[in-house]
Amino acid sequence: TYGINIFIHFDQRNDFVHYLKRIMPSNRMYFRTLTIKIIFLSVTTIGILGNFSVFYYYLVYYGDCKLKTVDLIHLHLMASNTLIILSKGVPNTMAAFGLKQFLNDIQCRLILYIERVGRSVSIGSICLLSVFQAVTISQKGSCCKDQKVKAAKYIGCCLSLLWVSYILIHFILFVNPLIKRYRNNVTGKQDFGHCSIAGRDGNSDSLYAAMVVCPEILFSLLMAWSSGSMIVILYRHKQRVQHIRRPSGSIRTSPESRATQNILVLVSTFLAFYTVSTILQGCVALLHNPSWWLVNITHLSSLCFPCFGPFVLINHYCMVSRLSLFWSRNINSVILK
């Protein structure tokens, strides 16, 4: 009897081990899927709240006033970020929760078109912001100094030109594959999780590289140059004003210097996320069968700046405290009435 009990115990234990081995892969799959769901939902929600908080701040404080040039660029940057989040963050979140391939080819291309317009305008806007700020804080007597007033006047036109140009460029890239698809039999598909489109061809890739990638590289170089110029100007300014101290003994920091430091943080954040996203997208494009983690991390990296960039502005302008003060004043005025 004792031997039979040992045999039964061993058999049950062996069955339990096999059961654990069988359920462990499914548990790991469930855990990683749940993790991606939470991350995508959190990042997308944070991004939407952050961008709309900046919009609301400008609506409250500058409702009837003319916006400063830098604030105007900020608004266009937030608008392009919002397009990226709505066209990439929301569909990827839905795909993470199991709603896959819910768009047809045309709808998928339209979503991709909106995302690309937002991405291109975002890069152009932040490049314009960094170059304009470099001109604004340029030293007295330099050639840039004479162009400050003119630059401020032309910023609105530059932003409008940026939107119109990229809407047209990406529309050409949107229509071109559709025309070729009906003329030729295109094989292969690009899978984005939430939808898929017909495979690319060499001409479309060359057109995209010439009209989108090359300008993005140029904008990135301009951002790096203007950021370097601002750092040099700030350093020289700090050297000159070290002897100017407040009664408390601290060095005086001008509003322009604080604004420049904020823009440098914003540009550095953008360049860091943009570089990582570009490298990961290149890896996904080159690999024949990229891993599940690599694909999802690539999607997340492209959402990082649109979602977290607004919080640099929120921190710089102390938007939370200002909006809280505004709401408390409104509540007090309503109570007094």
What pLDDT tens digit does each residue of the chain (337 aa) get? 444 444 444 455 555 545 445 545 556 777 878 888 899 999 999 999 999 988 888 887 776 677 788 888 989 999 999 999 999 999 999 888 888 777 888 888 899 899 999 999 999 999 998 988 888 877 554 555 556 666 667 888 899 999 999 999 988 888 877 766 665 655 567 777 777 777 666 667 777 778 888 888 899 999 999 888 888 887 777 777 665 555 555 555 666 677 777 888 888 889 899 989 888 888 887 777 778 888 889 889 999 999 998 888 877 766 555 555 555 555 555 455 5
pLDDT value, residue 102: 78
pLDDT value, residue 10: 43
The span from the CA of 322 to the CA of 325, in Å, is 5
pLDDT value, residue 122: 94
pLDDT value, residue 260: 76
Contact 266, 309 (CB under 8 A): yes
Contact 192, 285 (CB under 8 A): no
pLDDT value, residue 186: 56
Which of 87, 88, 89, 63 shows the shortest CA–CA distance to 75? 63
Contact 300, 40 (CB under 8 A): yes
Which of 67, 203, 51, 70 shows the shortest CA–CA distance to 131? 70
Q: Helix, strand, coil proportions of the chain in percent (round to 5)?
A: 80, 0, 15
Phi, psi of 128 (to 5 degrees): -60, -40
Which of 213, 229, 243 shows the shortest CA–CA distance to 142? 229
Superfamily of domain 2-243+252-336: Rhodopsin 7-helix transmembrane proteins (1.20.1070.10)
pLDDT value, residue 20: 44
Domain range summary for the chain, segments of one domain joined by +: 2-243+252-336
The span from the CA of 195 to the CA of 100, in Å, is 7
Tokens of 76: 């266009």
Contact 328, 63 (CB under 8 A): no
Residue 323, number of CB atoms within 10 A of its CB? 16
pLDDT value, residue 117: 94
Residue found under tokens 């819910």 = 102
